[in-house]
Amino acid sequence: MPLDPKTPAQTNAALMARRKAALPSGLGQTYEVFAARAEGAEIWDVEGKRYIDFAGGIAVLNTGHRHPKIVEAVKQQLDQYHHTCFQVLAYEPYVELAERLIAKTPGNFAKKAFFLSSGAEAVENAIKIARAATKRQGVIAFGGGFHGRTLMGMALTGKVAPYKAGFGPFPAEIYHAEFPNALHGVSVADALKSLEHLFKYDIEPERVAAIILEPVQGEGGFYVAPPEFAQALRALCDKHGIVLIADEVQTGAGRTGTWLACEQWDVAPDLITMAKSMAGGFPLSAVIGKAEIMDKPGPGGLGGTYAGNPLACAAALAVLDVFEEEKLLDRSKAVGERLRKGLTALASQHKSILDVRGLGAMIAIELFKGGDITQPDADLTKRVCAEAIQRGLVLLSCGVYANVIRVLVPLTASDAILDEGLAVLGESLKAAGA
């Protein structure tokens, strides 16, 4: 697609220079590329170069760039009103969205939902609610987990650099247990034992308000929490009156082949956080959960000026429509199968790839120097991403060792685009010496 002729002639290099002068260096930028236009699973930069988007704005674009139904819904909302602050003057799309999300959330109990603007805020609020409901302070999260860049989000996040280093002190009463990770030798039994150790040496379970985990660790490296682990956590939480929180900010909204990844656990969390793809690219997040817990904070204890903005709610309702009308959950499974097949084929050709893993369309490969499991290869991972962007493919790395390449391509991408992206990834692996 040609660039909009009105787009002023710019170069990525000139914009990078302006960026460097005006923005702090702590604000990361994976690639020195500035977007000009995007459609579906494709992006064009300011110089007119086309990219296939395997990053999806970090899991935000399950319905693709500028889905026409979402664009239309937001335009219509913009013509009516675009901000009142829900706590001052309410509006129906917010309530309808809560009702529709509740209906899609597992758990045979009454539920409630409310909205915020970012994933980190949803996590903050889930912890506030769990503490208010239990009148306890302790929170257990997991090594390698990621929960946001606010103080509580950082405290819960289980990786020091770059997320936490230099930013403390953090909120008190946060503890970390091991997350199961078969590839790196942590079994479900090991992970549960590390929880027992916490209960024995650090905090008795009667002081724990919540256990929070991602069904698939996103930033941590696409490690999947096995159903038996989630079931064991559910039993522990039931036994000790602890609130179980599933952070579905990255896994939610259809990415893993079900609307929520926790549906595949056969376990109903007490609280669920969502954000990212739930509003197709508009800033919106949610806490959804058991009504008796959600109702515990007192009047005025929850909210935020922009929280549940009408444009974002309209977008989120359109996302739900798109999932139903276009059967995107089926597509998510099909995209996942195609990617897994393609990545498995690449793994058989490149000895540095020791694992292809994930859930549904949330899939990754993990790279090791010379195929040696003791040598996670972050440099190689960087080189593969650099080769890919040269060739017009946007990739994202992740993982506690920064040696994982993850795919978060829009679920609306055609088979042809998926195959083209996989082929470019193959060329990039070869060029990087994988």
Asked if 146 touches ligand PMP (CB under 6 A), the answer is yes
Question: Where do runs of H (alpha helix) occur along 150-214?
Answer: 151-156, 188-201
Asked if 221 touches ligand PMP (CB under 6 A), the answer is no
- Looking at the Cβ atoms of 180 and 342, the one nearer to ligand PMP is 180
C-alpha span between 188 and 192 (Å, rounded): 6
Least Cβ distance, residue 178 to ligand PMP (angstroms): 18
Q: Scanning residues 46 to 65, which ones bind ligand PMP (CB under 6 A)?
A: 58
- Looking at the Cβ atoms of 119 and 308, the one nearer to ligand PMP is 119
- Looking at the Cβ atoms of 247 and 387, the one nearer to ligand PMP is 247
Asked if 186 touches ligand PMP (CB under 6 A), the answer is no
Site string for ligand PMP, 320-349 (x = CB under 6 A): ------------------------------
Please choose, out of 140-148, 165-173, 392-400, 408-416, the segment that lies near ligand PMP by the rule CB under 6 A: 140-148
- Looking at the Cβ atoms of 57 and 106, the one nearer to ligand PMP is 57
Asked if 274 touches ligand PMP (CB under 6 A), the answer is no
SS3 72: helix
Least Cβ distance, residue 341 to ligand PMP (angstroms): 26
C-alpha span between 388 and 395 (Å, rounded): 7
The strand pairing partners of 116, in sequence order, are: 285
Asked if 280 touches ligand PMP (CB under 6 A), the answer is no
Residue from 178, 219, 355, 387 in contact with ligand PMP (CB under 6 A): 219
Please choose, out of 6-14, 28-36, 116-124, 349-357, the segment that lies near ligand PMP by the rule CB under 6 A: 116-124
- Gyration radius from the chain CA atoms: 21
Residue from 144, 218, 221, 410 in contact with ligand PMP (CB under 6 A): 218
Residue from 52, 120, 267, 278 in contact with ligand PMP (CB under 6 A): 120
Site string for ligand PMP, 228-267 (x = CB under 6 A): -------------------x-xx-----------------
Q: Give me the residue label for tokens 């660790």.
A: 217
Least Cβ distance, residue 17 to ligand PMP (angstroms): 27
Least Cβ distance, residue 160 to ligand PMP (angstroms): 17
3-state DSSP percent of the chain in helix, strand and coil, to 5: 40, 20, 40
C-alpha span between 111 and 109 (Å, rounded): 6
Asked if 45 touches ligand PMP (CB under 6 A), the answer is no
Q: How far is CA 152 from CA 121, 237, 240, 294, 407, in A?
A: 9, 21, 23, 19, 28
Question: Where do runs of H (alpha helix) occur along 262-395?
Answer: 291-294, 310-325, 328-349, 378-390
Q: Is 18 exposed, middle or buried (0-12, 13-18, 19+ CB in 10 A)?
A: exposed
Asked if 111 touches ligand PMP (CB under 6 A), the answer is no
DSSP string, 216-269: B-TTTT--B--HHHHHHHHHHHHHHTPEEEEE-TTTTTTTTSSSSGGGGTT---
Least Cβ distance, residue 247 to ligand PMP (angstroms): 5
SS3 106: coil
Q: Scanning residues 148 to 167, which ones bind ligand PMP (CB under 6 A)?
A: 148
Asked if 406 touches ligand PMP (CB under 6 A), the answer is no
Residue from 56, 64, 119, 410 in contact with ligand PMP (CB under 6 A): 119
How big is the site for ligand PMP, counted in residues (CB under 6 A)? 15
Q: Exposure string (b/e) for 109-133, b if CB count within 10 Å is 16 or more?
A: eebebbbbbbbbbbbbbbbbbbbbb
In the sheet that holds 50-53, the strands lie side by side as: 35-39, 42-45, 50-53, 393-394
- Looking at the Cβ atoms of 346 and 385, the one nearer to ligand PMP is 385
Asked if 130 touches ligand PMP (CB under 6 A), the answer is no
Q: Report the Cα 68 to chain-centroid distance in Å.
A: 23
- Looking at the Cβ atoms of 123 and 198, the one nearer to ligand PMP is 123
Geometric angle at alpha carbon 385, from 380 and 389, rounded to 5°: 150
Asked if 124 touches ligand PMP (CB under 6 A), the answer is no
In the sheet that holds 396-398, the strands lie side by side as: 353-359, 362-367, 404-407, 396-398
**Binding-site ranges for ligand PMP (CB under 6 A):** 58, 118-120, 123, 146-148, 214, 218-219, 247, 249-250, 275
